[in-house]
Structure 1
Amino acid sequence: MAKSHNLAFDLRNDEQEELAAERKIKHKANPLAAVSRRSVAGWSFLAVVVLALMAAMIFGKVEISSLYTQRAELETQLSQLQNENVSLQSELAQKTNMTKVEEYAENSLGLQKLDKSQIEYVEVENESVAEIKKDDSSNIFVKIKNWFVSAMEYIGL
């Protein structure tokens, strides 16, 4: 599409127009190809992210379910142990009951309760008091040691 004023054609103008048309085509084709590539990459990345999030959510739900199961098992075990503890405490209370202890002492050990005639009272005329006698026969080294210990106590060491 060269314009002609006469019979001679301007080839440089014609080549430039063709190059410009090719550039326009390249610019039009490349952006579409780049956009389509970018959109495919973007959608792929988005799909991977969504799948990763879904996998994480499923894993979390499985873990929560497992923890709930463990909790239920432990609560069952706790209630069983509490029931066993109550029964053992009642059994212990029965065995340590005073009547049971007395029966065991009389029957198994052959012990008997004391009668009033078997009790003897003892009177002490003087009060028993223990007196500490100070030892005056300590040597000079013991006296120095005692003075040093008392000085250290006074200082607070």
Structure 2
Amino acid sequence: MLEDKNYINGTAARKLVYDVYEENAVLNAKKKQRNNNKVKRKIVLCLLLVFAMGSLAMYRYSRITEMNYEIDKQLKAYNELKNENIRIKVEIENSIDIQKIKEFAEKELGMHKPDKHQITYVRVPQTDLTIVSEAAKEEEMKNAGIFSVIINKVNLLANLLY
């Protein structure tokens, strides 16, 4: 059903087009004042919103700057501690004197150099041997080619002979 704005809904009577505000100057002025007040409220609310957003952005940047200052302060303290540790390590290394250690060991702890009959020599092999499990060897054989398997066997034999 089409609505015609000239008729009252559900009847055949036409709407009266009568605006009280057009004829009465006081009412017309009040209507304009209300409309102006609405516009002013909208403008003030928009300005408040823009001010709030700007304040929020300024607060955020101030917090970021404050955090950066704190980070810089902590980094300076860290570097100072690191430099102090390095200085202390160097001081410790410089303070170690073999003669003082030898004197302390002989006098305070009662230590002395061993006699010739107290010295026992131990033969240490020149190469370290690592024992590989059979499962690892089999896995290596599967992954390797024929030539690399032969080279590995020759290396194992050579290691056993030395």
Could you tell me the TM-score, scaled by structure 2's length? 0.49
Q: Which residue of 2 is the match for residue 88 of structure 1?
A: 88
SS state of the match for residue 48, structure 1? helix
Is the contact between residue 21 and residue 31 of structure 2 (CA under 8 Å) also seen in structure 1? no
Q: Which runs of 5+ in 2 are unaligned?
A: 1-17, 121-162
Between the aligned partners of 2:91 and 2:104, the Cα distance in structure 1 is 16
Alignment of 1:45-60 (within 5 A): 45-60=45-60
1:24 aligns with 2:22: yes
Between the aligned partners of 2:113 and 2:58, the Cα distance in structure 1 is 75
Sequence identity, in percent? Answer: 18
1:112 aligns with 2:142: no
Between the aligned partners of 2:88 and 2:119, the Cα distance in structure 1 is 42
Is the contact between residue 106 and residue 112 of structure 2 (CA under 8 Å) also seen in structure 1? yes
Q: Which runs of 5+ in 1 are unaligned?
A: 1-19, 122-157
Between the aligned partners of 2:19 and 2:70, the Cα distance in structure 1 is 73
Is the contact between residue 105 and residue 111 of structure 1 (CA under 8 Å) also seen in structure 2? yes
Between the aligned partners of 2:75 and 2:62, the Cα distance in structure 1 is 20
Change in Cα spacing, 1:23 to 1:94, as seen in structure 2 (3 Å) is closer
Q: Which runs of 4+ in 1 moved over 6 A?
A: none
Could you tell me the TM-score, scaled by structure 1's length? 0.50
The offset of 1:66, in angstroms, is 1.1
Between the aligned partners of 1:34 and 1:23, the Cα distance in structure 2 is 12
Structure ranking higher on relative contact order (CA contacts 8 Å, 6+ apart):
1
- What root-mean-square deviation, in Å, do the aligned CA atoms of Structure 1 and Structure 2 show? 3.0
Q: Which residue of 2 is the match for residue 102 of structure 1?
A: 102
Per-residue CA deviation, residues 88-107 of structure 1 (Å, 9 max, x unaligned), is 23334445676653343135
Count of aligned positions: 101
Alignment of 1:33-72 (within 5 A): 33-72=33-72
- Rg larger for: 1
Between the aligned partners of 1:120 and 1:60, the Cα distance in structure 2 is 75
Alignment-mate amino acid for residue 38 of structure 1: K
